[in-house]
Structure 1
Amino acid sequence: MELTAEIAAIRSGAGDSGRLLGEFRRAVLLVPLPDGPDAGLMSAVSGGIRWIYAFTDEEALARFAAARGEANAGREWEYLSILGARLVDAVVPTADRPAGVAVNVADEDGSMFFPPVVGIVPDGSAVDLDRGEVA
């Protein structure tokens, strides 16, 4: 099953979180580069979490551009093609704050968030890991 189908299954209540995570890690995702390859990845901060935008295909990215009012602005959207596993294992740990991945955010019934928690991101980047710290 592909990632979009697994997202749909989860959203309908018939999916499996393990399969969802596996499909996410195997999926080639498109991550917009806001101002070219030297500017980093397009993201937003909400609730103290940096959410990296990722899309399952060019059509999903185009819907995001349209939702932002930028679909017909003559702008060509550059993006990075990257495996979901590489995004969470190599990119998330370099973020300036806890980071997760928001997939297909312009698709009301097809979006999915992969938060910075144990099992999704490396333990050192997870916000829910008890590190035994004493206040």
Structure 2
Amino acid sequence: MIPVMSEHGEADSAGHTPRSRLYDYVDTPEPARQGAARGERGFAALLGEFRRTAVLVPLDPVTGSPLAADFGGVRWIYAFSDEGALARFAVARGEGAREWVYQRWLGARLLDAAVPAVGVPCGVALDCADGEDGMVFPPVPGIVPDAVAVDVDGGTGDVR
């Protein structure tokens, strides 16, 4: 079993890490009858919380840069809400036995500084080993700086 540690390096009495407030938004069910506007407000709240939250960004063991992968023509920087989420990712990759070096970054720093520095369409994948509990922040206007956002023009993506 991989120990789960809190921000202060200690698990609580039940051995659980306090979860990020991001999960409060993800876990809140929305009835199907609620409109798209409410969904957009919910996502805006989630995005705001992500921007204010320190997340774990694993570093590539070779380059020392944030670990990322390319999928669907977009580079995705991996980020994790806590050490447990990072551990699940490591195990899913078959790399649970190695040491994972990471840094804590504010979500805003990832979206506003790291994404533009990549030089290709880039977004952030949060807790990507957690299935539906994970979240993506794609490189679109309103999430990343407009200068590096993908402009979706009639179904084709063009970088502005």
TM-score of the pair, normalised by structure 1: 0.85
Paired residue secondary structure (2:27): helix
3-state SS of paired residue (2:88): helix
Unaligned runs of 5+ in 2: 1-19, 32-38
Map 1:19-58 → 2, pairs under 5 A = 19-35=45-61, 38-58=63-83
One-letter code of the match for 1:123?
A: D
Q: List structure 1 segments (4+ residues) > 6 angstroms apart after TM superposition.
A: none
**Which residue identity lines up with residue 43 of structure 2 in the other structure?**
S
Aligned pairs for 1:1-135 (under 5 A) are: 2-9=21-28, 12-13=29-30, 16-35=42-61, 38-71=63-96, 73=97, 75-128=98-151
- The residue number in structure 1 matching 2:7 is none
SS of the residue 2:77 aligns to: strand
Structure 1 spans left out of the alignment, 5+ residues: none
Amino acid at match of 2:50: F
Q: How many residues align?
A: 126
* Percentage of pairs with the same residue: 54
Give how far 1:13 is off.
3.3
CA-based RMSD of the aligned residues comes to 2.0
* Cα deviation code 1:18-56 (max 9, x no counterpart): 1111111011110100216x5311110011100000000
